[in-house]
Amino acid sequence: MSDGGEAATGGSEGGGRPVDWDADLPDYVPPVRSGPARGVVAGGVARVVALLAAGVFAVVALTGTDGADTPEAAVERLFDALADEDVIGLLEALAPGERRAVLDPVRAVTAELQRLGVLGEELDLGGVHGFDLRVEGLELASAELGPGVAEVRIVAGTLHADVRPADIPLGPVARDLLDAFEAGLEPTSESTDLAAEPDAVIVAIEEAGGWHVSLGYTIAEQWRRDAGEPLPAFGQGVQPQGADGPEEAVRAMLDAALDLDLRAVIALTPPDEMRALHDYAPLFLDEVEAEAVEARRHTDLTLDRLETEVVERRGASARVAVTGLAISGTVDGEDGSLSWDGECLEWRDRYSHDRQCLDDLEDEGLPRSVTGSLESMLRVTAVEVDGAWYLSPVRSALDGSVDLLRLLEREHVEDVAELVSDFGMFFLGAGLGGFDFDDEAWAEERWAEEGWEVAPDDRGPPGAECFDEYERALGDEPDGAGPDDIERIHAELDACLHAGDSRGWSTGGRGRRDGAPGDG
């Protein structure tokens, strides 16, 4: 365990106090304002009452029920939180296993975005301003899918949404970006018929003594219906097979992945967080395993070396860093290898041999936020459930997001916002492979404001045609194209972008003003 390393899981509340990721979560109760005390209680009596209250709270939190009495009540609880614009309440309505995977990471991400000026300091996840949501005439009907699993249909109901963008608690960076794009900040109102999709269902599951909405089961059940599959045998799916420790779980997961053993991969995911996957996996595993048998005939990968370190451990969760790794093998008759020593990534195949080190990237002027992202991608979160350790895909992804945000400083975000606001149309065109202006008048006005010499036309924003040509060139190359071919195509793209200087725009991130030299 690292004494002074980065806190890789969760975040810090207030003055840096670490968040307890694994504390049992009692039922969430929205804050209620109380009036002034109506009397004075003697100090001794107050202390006794406080001790009794603490004891009752502990017993309820540890042994009491968590959830609603019926599936319909669980869904009603979700809509109540929605109507209160209560993000924490929405998460509290989820099944405990799913809730534990997202609640603290969401808080940590929110705190980081506030620090970076993207979200406002006044943001309260228990009641987000700028939205007024109302649910009227809600009628629900439920049906059992299996033991402890029920579908809930919305028979009737209307969601009314009033949005006041000016009141949404955005930070100064986000506000400046909206102003730069002259995004409309006029209030809007909209009503939605919640029963308009008769085939849509919300799935609730019974867990911890009560009924909860399950995001995982809702997604899985919708997939099952779209695929025309039968109901699974709930509780009889992939049986969890955890490891003895967090680092052992990482090794077991890598071994299973390299062996193309999806069943073993699923068995190493948490049985509470990924309960839906465990139940529904048998519906597709037979087909996947048959394909894996065929794939193994021309795929042979070996984990030659694995070095790991628990960089943060808090209760029943641990953040594990891969500090050393070596994989080699054959795919479709082609030999290759990949290695990581904690500082440098090296890979070899038939066409290339390359080595990239973090120090080299920093020497080239890349900020820590970029070089640190590679290290963050080589970290995963393991959790302990009933004495065994599993790899959590949800927590790993969310914790990785927190890691990346912690690497950023506010000036980095401000620089990106300025870049996007000055030349955002270029990025939009490049990212989408071309952009058609829906509002030609707006586009012409934007070009005039920036002083670009080239008027907008159906080619899209500056540089879009370069990326269109780049995509065509990649598509024209045969499957056996070597690194020289790819390098040539990249060089052609670079030349096309830099040629834009002569046409009135630059690749340096800003539109070139009349009479000013190009940026790139």
pLDDT at residue 60 tops 50: no
More confident of the two residues 507 and 335: 335
* Structure-token pair, residue 150: 């029920």
More confident of the two residues 77 and 48: 77
307, β-bridge pairs: 324
Query: Percent of the chain scored above 90 by pLDDT?
Result: 43
Phi, psi of 48 (to 5 degrees): -65, -45
pLDDT band at 95 (very low <50, low <70, confident <90, very high): very high
Q: Which amino acid is at 495?
A: A
Helix 410-432 × helix 440-450 angle, to 10°: 130
Name the least confident of 58-67, 126-135, 448-457, 496-505.
Answer: 58-67
Statement: the pTM of the whole predicted model exceeds 0.85: no
For the chain, how long is the longest CA-to-CA vector? Answer: 86
pLDDT in tens, 390-417: 999 999 999 988 988 888 888 878 877 7
**Burial class (CB within 10 angstroms; exposed 0-12, middle 13-18, buried 19+) of 14:** exposed
pLDDT band at 459 (very low <50, low <70, confident <90, very high): very low
Helix 464-476 × helix 483-498 angle, to 10°: 160
- The residues, any chain, with a CB within 8 Å of residue 381's CB and separated by 6 or more, are 8, 9, 317, 318, 319, 320, 391, 392, 395, 396, 399
Pairwise CA distance, residues 336 & 342, whole Å: 20
Q: Report pLDDT for 47.
A: 32
* Cα-to-chain-centroid distance, residue 403: 12
Q: Report pLDDT for 14.
A: 36
Q: Which amino acid is at 185?
A: L
Residue 211 near residue 73 (C-beta atoms within 8 A): yes
Distances (CA, A) of 292 to 4, 239, 258, 276, 285: 43, 20, 11, 23, 10
Angle (CA) 103-315-57 rounded to 5° is 65
Query: Percent of the chain scored above 70 by pLDDT?
Result: 66
Q: Report pLDDT for 236.
A: 94
Mean pLDDT of all residues in 73-81: 93
Q: Report pLDDT for 284.
A: 96
Q: Which amino acid is at 401?
A: S
Q: Report pLDDT for 294.
A: 92
**Burial class (CB within 10 angstroms; exposed 0-12, middle 13-18, buried 19+) of 219:** middle
pLDDT band at 198 (very low <50, low <70, confident <90, very high): confident
Give 8's DSSP letter.
-
Nearest to 280 by CA among 239, 234, 242, 228: 234
Angle (CA) 428-170-7 rounded to 5° is 90
Most trustworthy range by pLDDT among 64-78, 385-399, 445-459: 385-399
Distances (CA, A) of 268 to 159, 239, 241, 243, 257: 40, 9, 6, 8, 11
Pairwise CA distance, residues 423 & 506, whole Å: 9
Q: Report pLDDT for 281.
A: 97
**Burial class (CB within 10 angstroms; exposed 0-12, middle 13-18, buried 19+) of 403:** buried
Q: Report pLDDT for 335.
A: 92
Q: Report pLDDT for 328.
A: 95
pLDDT in tens, 277-305: 999 999 999 999 999 999 999 999 999 99
pLDDT in tens, 147-164: 999 999 999 999 999 988
**Burial class (CB within 10 angstroms; exposed 0-12, middle 13-18, buried 19+) of 348:** middle
Terminal-residue alpha carbon distance, the chain: 47
Q: Report pLDDT for 372.
A: 61
Average model confidence (pLDDT) for the chain?
Answer: 76
The full set of domains in the chain, from first to last, is 71-227 (3.10.450), 246-391 (3.10.450), 438-501 (no CATH)
Mean pLDDT of all residues in 491-512: 53
Name the least confident of 28-32, 110-114, 393-397, 401-405.
Answer: 28-32
Please spell the DSSP secondary structure of 71-95, one letter per residue: HHHHHHHHHHHHHTT-HHHHHHTB-
pLDDT at residue 312 tops 70: yes
pLDDT band at 109 (very low <50, low <70, confident <90, very high): very high
Q: Report pLDDT for 165.
A: 84
Most trustworthy range by pLDDT among 12-21, 140-149, 364-373, 432-441: 140-149
How do 353-357 and 379-385 pair as beta strands? unpaired
